[in-house]
Chains A and B, each alone.
Chain A
Amino acid sequence: MSGRGQAVSAREVSFTYRGAQRPAIDGVSLELQAGEQAYLMGRTGAGKSTLCLCLNGVIPKMQPGEFAGEVRVGGERVSGRQVYEVARTVGALFQNFEAQLLASDVEREVAFGLESAGMPREEMRRRVSEALELVGLSDLRGRDPATLSGGQKQRLALAAVLAPEPAVLVLDEPTTDLDPIARRELARVVDELSAQGVTLLIADHEALDALHSDRLIALSEGTKRYDGPPDELLADPARCTELGILPLQLAELGARVGMALPLEPAGAAEALSAEGRRLDAEECGLLASEAPEPGEPLIELEGVSFTYRESGEQALRDVTLTIREGEFVVLLGENGSGKSTLAQHLNGLLSPTAGTVRIGGRDTRTAPVQELAAQVGYLFQNPDHQIFSSTVREEVAFGPRNLGSGEREVEARVAEALAATELSGWETRDPFVLTKGERQRVALASVLACRPRVIVFDEPTTGLDGIQQRAMMELLARLNAEGTTVIVITHCTWAAAEYAHRALVLDEGRLAADSSVREVFGDAELLARTGQVAPDVARISQALGAQTLLSVDEMERCLKRT
């Protein structure tokens, strides 16, 4: 698919979207060698997506705005060429992969671009087979894409991009909606492509993945701020934070204890031991006893099973658990393990097919929607699934109005919820045009305005950059400290480990574990069985022969010199 040499070259590229005040990217130059695998990182709004769009010719061809500079792919200028011509050399997969699927049939989806290019049928068949084989979807030929899982849909979209056999592949945030298994599957495909000599540019927020690439490029406010080996930047936590990249735990730990640690857990434990550092058992023991005392039972599930009527799929099997006041609970498990189904039982959106769910003592099957909404707030993963008003104030006032509050009461609750989410002063803004992180805060405010005792949050960190992720978790921790019970579903293990007290692990609809986060992340066998990965600090604390530690803070506190 490639020869050695320059695959992509961008020179002094700038682009300002029509109507925007400042350029999205400003004088960015970039050269990628054939077969190179580069990561593109930076805050939301740093210009990553814009740069990706410049490389595949969408900018300036289709996007209204001001373009300057020059992009060459395989030695040829991109501007002036049709988007589909460029697409044969530069394949691009964007975050919203659902909107890149165009057909109602898996094979046809992959063949789509080939048909319009006028490729002979035999050649098309070969390429469709190869592309489906590569992404691991050969068994699903003939299926309707609507019936595939999220991860499968994404790999299908990738297969369609790969079918014209592009020499360069641009992936814009390809892993955000995926569970750890699907991420691993995608990583396998990416490595395979690299091995075949495809040049890859991957925009992502996950520093751990970037560590394994050839090169890291970081953007900030539209300009290039770093371009070099990944470990050099990732070893510097202060610079990472400045660029909006969530620092690696081991880099941060190294900085705190004044040591240059290997960035992967395998070598880090040895390095610490060699330097004469050990974990203080007494201090570690204290940590375990610091867990907050849970209060009154709020939500009680007894022998809950649930089967979806349309598909006949049994999503929950005999789940019994109690959520108590003041807890911070994380729900872990693979996609399809029943996490969302369980979460939707916690506020009565679903009623069990067997067993009972009681919220504040009331059976959810008989309690009215409003009463349950007042007790348990539920936030779906995508804030766009609930925003419908033209001002932030109206949006946040919707819940309390449904619950029958008077106008003065509504006003007070809106003010309180906006203050809690740091959105005071935004009352008259249009929520539709805010950034994803801001929209998510509006959605959270709109749930808080109902003054629920419990908040259930499905994937609070998805689609946010590293810094926004931390800010969102801090916000939830503060609400929890002020007395709100918090339940989150997340694939983000560091967030689960650092912020939650208790973990519920689901495995094919069964409750595989219900204990403290510390115990769960310390149980290697359980993690392996349920497709979970412990954060780096947990793994090195175990390697050092101590109890499982959950955050860099804890590590720093317990590390002693011998």
Chain B
Amino acid sequence: MALSLYRHEDTPAHRRHPVAKLLALTPLFVAPLTFNDPLWALGTLMVSFTLVLAAGALPNLRRMWGLGAILLVMSTLLWALMLPDREAVWRLGPLFASPTSVAYGIAMGLRLNAMLMLGVAYVSCTRPEEFTWSLRRIGIPATMTLALSLTFRLVPMLAGTAQTVTQAQMARGLDFHSGGPLARIGRYIPLMVPVLAYAMRSADDLTRALESRRAGAASKQRTEYYEYAWTAADTALLALALAYGAAAVWLRLSGFGEIVGRM
């Protein structure tokens, strides 16, 4: 069963050094976090969207547009009703909202979408293996990154198990789509137990496989199969990302892109 969103393509984004991509993520995420004016938030969204295109991630994004739309609507709704704004214009019983709170909600919805897009772009052009490799490179202990990459590897195995278990129990008459939420919890037990039991049954084999391949050995003696050459393009990516993040912070501190000020 394939679950990974990684797309087998050869875009410039795919070719960047995994460490460059990982480090660039932080300033890239900072930019959308700075503005709460919908127009400026839209600007950061456009930057994120450009990165989605550059990473060949559009098909993945297309699958998620529903989630993005729901987040936008919900965010607008939640913030419109919950943002403390005394100059409320619209009232309905205890609820009130104002043009500012609605605009703020839209901005937050765009912010969420801008960040989701960055995440989708990143996972579309970076293999799980490259992600864990870059974590090791920035100093996370090898044993931990090993466990993380093993988690990536085991999810499809157990998801396949979960699918078969679901069918096996349906074949015994389990109908877990009917009834109220509380009644339905009980019906998930016959689905969860076999998956967890299967996981436990695999523990010994996995332990042996790890031991016999000396996985997670101390980093001094290990070599790496994959070689990633750091190029000028990687430096450029990192520099651009940092400049983008820094510019966003500076603009906001200078009073741009905010409709709701600080305390």
Contact = CB atoms under 8 A, between A and B. Distances in A.
Question: CB atoms of A and B under 8 A apart anywhere in the complex?
Answer: yes
Interface of A: 56, 58, 61-62, 82-84, 86-87, 92, 94, 96, 98-105, 107-108, 111-121, 124-125, 128, 142, 144-147, 160, 344, 347, 349, 368-370, 373-374, 376-380, 382, 384-389, 398-399, 402-403, 432, 446-447, 450
Contacts of B193: 387-389
A388 B156 CA distance: 21
A82 B156 CA distance: 31
A385 B175 contact: no
A92 B204 CA distance: 14
B168 A56 contact: no
B185 interface: no
A377 B168 CA distance: 10
Given A84-B212, A99-B209, A369 B173 contact: yes
Contact of A373 (B157, B172, B194): B172
B172 A402 contact: yes
B8 interface: yes
Contacts of A403: 173
Contact of B213 (A144, A160, A347, A374): A160
B4 A144 contact: yes
A102 B150 contact: yes
A389 B172 CA distance: 14
Residue from A58, A82, A100, A386 having most chain B Cβ neighbours under 10 A: A386
Nearest to B217: A116
A84 B215 CA distance: 9
Given A102-B213, A385-B164, A374 B173 contact: yes
Contacts of B217: 116-118
Contacts of A399: 172-173
A102 B153 contact: yes
B187 to A, nearest CB: 9
A382 B2 CA distance: 21
Q: How large, as a class, is the contact surface on chain B?
A: 35 or more
A370 B2 contact: no
B175 A402 contact: yes
B203 to A, nearest CB: 8
A114 B225 contact: yes
Nearest to A91: B212
B211 A450 contact: no
B168 A146 contact: no
B61 to A, nearest CB: 18
Interface string B121-156: 000000111000000000000000000011011001
Interface in B193-214: 193-194, 197-198, 201-202, 205-214
B231 interface: no
Chain A binding surface SS class? helix
A488 to B, nearest CB: 15
Contact of B208 (A82, A83, A119, A160): A83
A108 B173 contact: no
B208 A388 contact: no
Interface string B39-73: 00000000000000000000000000000000000
Contacts of A124: 223, 225
B211 A385 contact: no
B221 interface: yes
Contact of B127 (A102, A104, A374): A104
A378 B149 contact: no
30 contacts: A56-B212, A58-B211, A62-B211, A83-B208, A84-B212, A92-B212, A94-B205, A94-B208, A96-B205, A98-B157, A104-B4, A108-B225, A115-B224, A116-B221, A121-B223, A121-B224, A121-B225, A128-B225, A373-B170, A373-B173, A377-B171, A380-B167, A384-B194, A384-B197, A385-B164, A385-B165, A385-B198, A388-B189, A402-B174, A403-B173
A78 to B, nearest CB: 12
B205 A388 contact: no
Nearest to B200: A432
Contacts of B222: 115-116, 118
Contact of B201 (A379, A384, A446): A384
A378 B164 CA distance: 12
A107 B217 CA distance: 19
Nearest to A161: B212
A429 to B, nearest CB: 16
Contacts of B156: 144, 146
